[in-house]
Amino acid sequence: MILITAILIFILGTAVGSFLSVVLYRIRNRKKGIFLSRSICPHCDKTLKWIHLVPILSYVFLKGKCAFCNKRISIRYFLLELITGLTFLAVFLQWNFVDEVYSIVDPDITNYLVNWATFEYFIFYLILSVFLIAIFFYDILYKEIPDRLSIPAIAIAIAGGLTVGTPEPLDMLIGGCAIFGFFGLQYALSKGKWIGGGDLRMGALIGVILGLYKSLGALAIAYIGGTILLLPLIILKKIHKKSEVPFGPFLVIATFIMLFFGDEIISWYLSFLYA
């Protein structure tokens, strides 16, 4: 039952990822009808049939090309579906709401029940994951974090956090204000050259989701990871020091790391610090 649930959640994630590709495109191009309009090919504007929209499988069987004009479709659609599916699966494994209950009468019989308390966490972090993935891809593609993604995500993070009780309200408030203020200081000192306005809202989102200490850990991971990845590219002159590099993806990855492994990372750091 747990395996079947995991497979279904992965499939659901790929479907959500397919939907996100439409949402990102229409947000960027300020198109209406995100929920009602039919999907079209970005090259020939032909309306796609349902068989062309099966997550992952359609891209594979069509060899990454449009069924009508045969032009290459960006691999980002495939990656968005796959990554969203894997993220949904990871969230389920972290907050597995399916409990196994062995029968008292016959130990060989196993019943399965929904742990509704854990299910609340699962739904909450699943919704946040959708916004984080959307921000991740949008910033990579267009080098900005739109308010249409970050502000609703902050509102959901606050409402959901207060509902499930994590992080604690004070920790949520301090974390959101601290990371927002940290980015705000950089924005003011550089007059918007180091980071953009979207990063400020992203900072508030991270602080609200993780609380103060975990959000500080996320910042450390994002900056260290960004340095490790970008420094060799700068040395090889693949990019220049003044090149515009989106920071949102690093923040999203760091947020997921602290969301899944934050307690272990903080415990390791404290044990290392006071060893």
Tens digit of each residue's pLDDT, the chain (275 residues): 788 999 999 999 999 998 998 889 888 877 665 555 667 766 676 777 767 778 888 888 888 887 778 778 888 889 999 999 999 999 999 999 988 776 666 666 667 788 999 999 999 999 999 999 999 999 999 999 999 999 999 999 999 999 998 999 999 999 999 999 999 999 888 887 788 888 999 999 999 999 999 999 999 999 999 889 888 877 777 776 666 778 899 999 999 999 999 999 988 888 877 76
Residues 164/120, Cβ–Cβ less than 8 Å? yes
Q: How far apart are the C-alpha atoms of 113 and 179, rounded to whole Å?
A: 39
- Find the domain containing 224 and state its range: 143-275
How many CB atoms are closer than 10 A to CB 265? 17
Q: Based on the structure, what is the number of domains in the chain?
A: 1
Q: Which pLDDT does position 31 carry in this prediction?
A: 66
Q: How far apart are the C-alpha atoms of 269 and 275, rounded to whole Å?
A: 10
Predicted TM-score (pTM) of the model is: 0.89
Q: How far apart are the C-alpha atoms of 5 and 91, rounded to whole Å?
A: 12
Instruction: Report yes or no on 59 lying in a domain.
Output: no
Instruction: Report yes or no on 179 lying in a domain.
Output: yes
Residues 183/203, Cβ–Cβ less than 8 Å? yes
Residues 258/215, Cβ–Cβ less than 8 Å? yes
